[in-house]
Chain A
């Protein structure tokens, strides 16, 4: 079909107008999407819903809308279903872009925490796939500690549990984000201590997080400093136990355990001198 002179003139104008409107639309929608994320970050679902609805539907705004519905999922079943539907569409359209990966992760989280009888095997498989297929991705990597707790706090044979400890330990070098390195290590360390009393294997995991200053929450730091000091003492690593006790006293000078930690520190120092 031959283009008429009118079409030859009109098309570039219309095209340029379309580009202008799209650019303008994108420019004006960007702050709205960001304000939607800010509102959602503060769990202000009414504002987030309004911000995400106000912009042209993009994959990002649709993810925002789905997560807003997830925030209200405990209020009505319809919110959860609509959220799930949106996430499935996002995943099926493109499972490998940022939004498809996030959709896959949140679908697994929904299955884990909202299904009456969660299919744990399927959730574990999704987490494994996310970690294997998208190493270093900020959302895919969140699956590591979640996978760890699902695998380790399950009622399985001792041999199977050993294999699971090994699997989680083998994940650690591939994790790139400090919070995921920390959380996966600590879930593993806790399970080793709670289920096996294995100080030798748990201590280096906790010590790594303490040395790298990865533990930011004071209640957590309080507990892991005590745990590290006790593990080090039991492993005969007196100088390390002393270091953890000293750090505890320095960090928590006004805690109800500080006085007793001080006494333990003196005992450790006494043993050290004696040795």
Chain B
């Protein structure tokens, strides 16, 4: 009898066990439904913040209490792998009934994977019955009118969301008092610099190695962007005489290629200096650190501050064994001798907008139930509960944020932010590769700008060309949808909703197409000028 090796037996057994577990996991909901008559509704998202998960869990249990034959299962997937995981689920034909839309899922072509709910959003949400929002169309119960859930190409609504965020600094109050003798938080960048100096003195006296900010790649991105945006306010406004407000990133870069500004401009020089100063406030190795490493550093009291979004508030506040206070990012004042001259004012924040709507997957076996659950979690009562448990600002109207949430409310006083040298992948990659020159031990804005200058033209050119191609792709994509709506309007001339949908689609298409042609014309002129030089 031939001898079978132990390794082979182990391998086959492991494969068999893995296979059985997979079968069991796939078949469990089906078996539950068949044997107990229970329906399992699954929803997935990338909001790993404990407050958000807990709040969604509480809403799921509430829904189960109302519908005893339904079991709701929450699946939280890390953002880093969400797109790959979600795409696999969609391709496999067994995705969760509701999926949070975003992070590149479906590549923006939502119709392939999600059911539109447009026809439902004009009707009232039945879960608002008996309350102040009874009879109000579902769409109008949201602060942003569900704008974040509408696909601009088709003007179809693909879901509803409970998520929004603002960026804030979280402060270890006890440590602040230890270091400064007071709990007064800096309100300007100059005061922030002073706090950093006080911390260095404290470190020397106490023999500690505390950092001012527990930094991570993500927090650096939002912190630097917030500060750099102050320095380009005047320059970007000068470049946009038609409305006298800062131009957007793409046009800012195009203006560079046209020679309308260069790296010697004081706005760019001071922006680099400001970012360099900010980088010196971050903990060492911030450019490689992930959010959880920064959180750990903050929670262990190794850093005084942390920069993050409001959605992460619960995790930080509850995970820190000290009192945490919340503040806006201190910005330079107009009277600041270094940074004030490039500014029009502190950066005004825009109104809250929802993101990451939950969409009903096309392969859902219970689309009506999924819609019902979506209505339930976005009712005024559920949103109030979600907001309280997750410390997320309410997305539904008529809910006053809790007192502890007030620091997260957007501050609209000031002037819009300027661009910060970032359009899309190429420029971002170049800036990321070069940014170490701004941080200790090098900390040289001059070296940073000189290095950036070498590759910036090509990177900007590639990005702008890509944007033009993307714009033309959008124009092509929506053409049949517009054609179909015009045919439908021939037989439904009094359908106001349809007529307005056509008008909005055409307006968006024309806008994108004309801008793409204009940008293409300018880029070609840039190319001709470069060739002739």
Contact = CB atoms under 8 A, between A and B. Distances in A.
Interface of A: 34, 37-38, 40-45, 48, 60, 63-64, 67-68, 70-71, 73-74, 98, 102, 106, 109, 113-114, 138-139, 142, 145-146, 148-150, 153-155, 178-180, 182-183, 186-187, 190-191, 193-194, 197, 214-218, 220, 223, 226-227, 230-231, 254-260
Given A138-B486, A216-B500, A34 B521 contact: no
B521 A255 contact: no
Contacts of A138: 486, 489-490
Contacts of A67: 479-480, 483-484
Contact of A139 (B417, B486, B511, B520): B486
Given A155-B524, A230-B242, A217 B504 contact: yes
A18 to B, nearest CB: 26
B508 A217 contact: yes
B477 interface: yes
A255 B491 contact: no
B506 interface: yes
B348 A153 contact: no
A197 B413 CA distance: 31
Given A70-B480, A71-B477, 7 more contacts: A34-B488, A42-B111, A44-B111, A70-B479, A153-B517, A214-B503, A255-B351
A149 B243 contact: no
A220 B508 CA distance: 8
A231 B243 CA distance: 8
A70 to B, nearest CB: 5
Contacts of B502: 179
Contacts of A182: 503, 507
B518 A38 contact: no
B481 A43 contact: yes
B483 A102 contact: yes
B488 A153 contact: no
Contacts of B413: 259
Nearest to A226: B243
B147 interface: yes
Contact of B514 (A153, A216, A227, A257): A153
Task: Tell me what chain A mostly uses at the interface: helix, strand, loop, or mixed.
Answer: helix
B510 A114 contact: no
Contacts of B147: 218
Interface in B422-459: none
Interface string B29-66: 00000000000000000000000000000000000000
- Size category of the binding interface on chain B: 35 or more
Contacts, number: 168
A223 B246 CA distance: 12
B244 interface: yes
Contacts of B484: 37-38, 40-41, 48, 64, 67
A149 B415 contact: no
A227 B243 contact: yes
Q: Counting chain A CB atoms within 10 Å of each CB, which of B416, B480, B485 scores highest? A: B480
Given A155-B524, A254-B410, A217 B479 contact: no
A140 to B, nearest CB: 11
A230 B480 contact: no
A74 B350 contact: no
A127 to B, nearest CB: 13
A227 B452 CA distance: 34
A40 B348 contact: no
Nearest to A60: B487
B473 A256 contact: no
B476 A106 contact: no
Q: Counting chain A CB atoms within 10 Å of each CB, which of B156, B483, B488, B513 scores highest? A: B483
Q: Counting chain B CB atoms within 10 Å of each CB, which of A68, A149, A191 scores highest? A: A149
10 contacts: A41-B488, A43-B478, A67-B479, A71-B481, A148-B514, A149-B517, A153-B518, A190-B518, A194-B518, A227-B242
Interface string B216-258: 0000000000000000000000000111110000000000000
B511 A71 contact: no
B211 interface: no
A34 B491 contact: yes
A155 to B, nearest CB: 7
B229 to A, nearest CB: 11
B414 interface: yes
A44 B513 CA distance: 23
A67 B485 CA distance: 12
B245 A226 contact: yes
B521 A154 contact: yes
Q: Give the top 7 A-B pairs by smallest Cβ distance, nearest first.
A: A254-B351, A40-B484, A153-B517, A71-B480, A41-B484, A226-B243, A43-B111
B243 A64 contact: no
A38 to B, nearest CB: 7
A64 B489 CA distance: 14
Contacts of A257: 245, 348, 416
B507 A217 contact: yes
B487 A254 contact: no
